[in-house]
Structure 1
Amino acid sequence: ERKPESIFLAYCDYYATGEGVTLMVGAGNTKNAARESFLSNAPEYFHRGLIEDKLDDSPPPETRRAARLLSDAMAELIASLPRGAPQFYAKIHYNLA
């Protein structure tokens, strides 16, 4: 039986006064796949806020928050495919006004 791959996140949690919060998340089963997903989809301005982390048994709170955009079904799919092949990207904006 093949061991499921890890899930990596590349994300930016951007807070702007008067504009709300924007969370952008790239995911993959390698660090490079997650990073590529983020960099190819997020506007360049947000690249400087990139945070990279691995989803494991005890990720920090910021990573757990970013991981909420990744459904369980998508995480299982990413983990089951060949290394580096799957990529996922999602963006959510909260208007706090």
Structure 2
Amino acid sequence: MSVFSKLKQFKDLRDQGKKLQGALAGESVTSHNNGVALTMDGNLHLTGVAIDNEMLNPTKKEKLQNAIKDAHSDVTKKMQKIMAGKMQEMGGMDNLFPKK
């Protein structure tokens, strides 16, 4: 494989990454867990946190901490599934690295 074809593959990969980033820009996912709701965008940035008033009781501090961790884990998994689906819609990376 020539240097130029490798450079083209890298350019194609970069273009595909930009296309994926654009497709994910409008995505948003929310996860609810024990009185905690977290919202994440397609860039994996946390864009919203909502906590039920009953969870603000000092005696429920550990429960609140666990609920935040669980909700964050769940919302991240949901967004990763969306990202994987978008990548598959775009043909994955199979077209960039042809089999010999």
Normalising by structure 1, we get a TM-score of 0.29
Q: Which has the higher strand share?
A: 1
Between structure 1 and structure 2, the one with the greater Rg is 2
Higher RCO, 1 or 2 (CA under 8 Å, sep at least 6)? 1
Higher share in helix: 2
Alignment TM-score, normalising by the size of structure 2: 0.29
